[in-house]
Amino acid sequence: MNEHSPARIAARFLRSAELARAYTVTAFVATFGAHAITATAGAVTLGTIVVALALLGAAILAARRRELRLLGFAPTTVVVFLAWALASTIWSYDAAATLGGWLSLAGYGFLAIVVAHVRDTLQTVRALGDVLRGMLAASLATEILAGILLDMPFPFLDIAGEIANGGPVQGLFGTRNMLGFVAVIALVTFIVEWRTQSVPAQTAVFSMALAGVLAVLSASPTAVVLALAVTIALVALRLVRRTTPTGRRTLQWGLAVTVLLGLAVAYALRHPILRWLDATAGFSLRADLWNSILSWVQNRPVQGFGWHGAWAEETYPMNTINFLLGQSHRSALNAFFDVLLQLGWAGLALFIALCAVAFVRSWLVASERRSVVYAWTPFVLVALIVDSMFESFTLQGVGWMLLVLCAVRAGQARSWRERLDLAASGGESQDPLGTRR
Q: Is the pLDDT of residue 197 over 50?
A: yes
% of residues, the chain, pLDDT over 90: 45
Q: What digits encode the pLDDT tens for the residues 245-299?
A: 777 788 888 888 888 887 777 767 666 666 655 544 456 677 788 888 988 999 8
Q: What are the C-alpha distances in Å from 327 to residues 221, 286, 313, 320?
A: 21, 11, 11, 10
Cα 226 from chain centre: 13
The per-residue pLDDT for 435 is 38
The per-residue pLDDT for 417 is 53
Among 3-17, 58-72, 199-213, the range scoring the smallest mean pLDDT is: 3-17
Span 174-185, average pLDDT: 92
Q: What does the alpha-carbon distance between residue 21 and residue 36 come to, in Å, rounded to a whole number? A: 23
Q: What digits encode the pLDDT tens for the residues 316-326?
A: 888 888 888 88
Q: What does the alpha-carbon distance between residue 325 and residue 292 come to, in Å, rounded to a whole number? A: 8
Q: Is the pLDDT of residue 48 over 90?
A: yes
Q: Is the pLDDT of residue 333 over 60?
A: yes
The per-residue pLDDT for 281 is 47
Q: In b/e form, how buried is each residue of 124-162, taking b as 16+ CB within 10 angstroms?
A: bbbbbbbbbbebbeebbebbebbbeeeeeebeebbbbbb
Q: What digits encode the pLDDT tens for the residues 38-47?
A: 999 999 999 9
Q: What does the alpha-carbon distance between residue 386 and residue 391 come to, in Å, rounded to a whole number? A: 9
126: CB partners within 8 A, 6+ apart: 193, 198, 199
3-class secondary structure per residue, the chain: CCCCCHHHHHHHHHHCHHHHHHHHHHHHHHHHCHHHHHHHHCHHHHHHHHHHHHHHHHHHHHHCHHHCCCCCCCCHHHHHHHHHHHHCCCCCCCHHHHHHHHHHHHHHHHHHHHHHHHCCHHHHHHHHHHHHHHHHHHHHHHHHHHHHHCCCCEHHHCECCCHHHCCCCCHHHCCHHHHHHHHHHHHHHHHHHHHCCCCCHHHHHHHHHHHHHHHHHHCCHHHHHHHHHHHHHHHHHHHHHCCCHHHHHHHHHHHHHHHHHHHHHHHHCHHHHHHHHHHHHCCHHHHHHHHHHHHHHCCCCCCCCCCCCCCCCCCCCHHHHHHHHCCCCCCCCCHHHHHHHHHHHHHHHHHHHHHHHHHHHHHHHHHHCCCHHHHHHHHHHHHHHHHCCCCCHHHCHHHHHHHHHHHHHHHHHCCHHHHHHHHHCCCCCCCCCCCCC
Span 340-359, average pLDDT: 93
| CB-CB neighbours of 408 under 10 Å | 24
- Model confidence, pTM: 0.89
The per-residue pLDDT for 415 is 56
Span 83-95, average pLDDT: 92
Q: What does the alpha-carbon distance between residue 339 and residue 351 come to, in Å, rounded to a whole number? A: 8
Instruction: Identify which has the larger pLDDT, 431 or 403.
Output: 403
Q: What does the alpha-carbon distance between residue 65 and residue 55 come to, in Å, rounded to a whole number? A: 15
142 close to 172: Cβ distance less than 8 angstroms: yes
Mean pLDDT of the chain: 85
The per-residue pLDDT for 275 is 61
Span 228-250, average pLDDT: 85
Helices 43-63/34-41 angle, 10° precision: 130
What sign does the CA torsion over 326, 329, 334, 340 have? positive
139 close to 172: Cβ distance less than 8 angstroms: yes
Q: What digits encode the pLDDT tens for the residues 258-271?
A: 888 877 777 676 66
12: CB partners within 8 A, 6+ apart: none
Q: Is the pLDDT of residue 407 over 90?
A: yes
Among 64-73, 111-120, 172-181, 428-437, the range scoring the smallest mean pLDDT is: 428-437
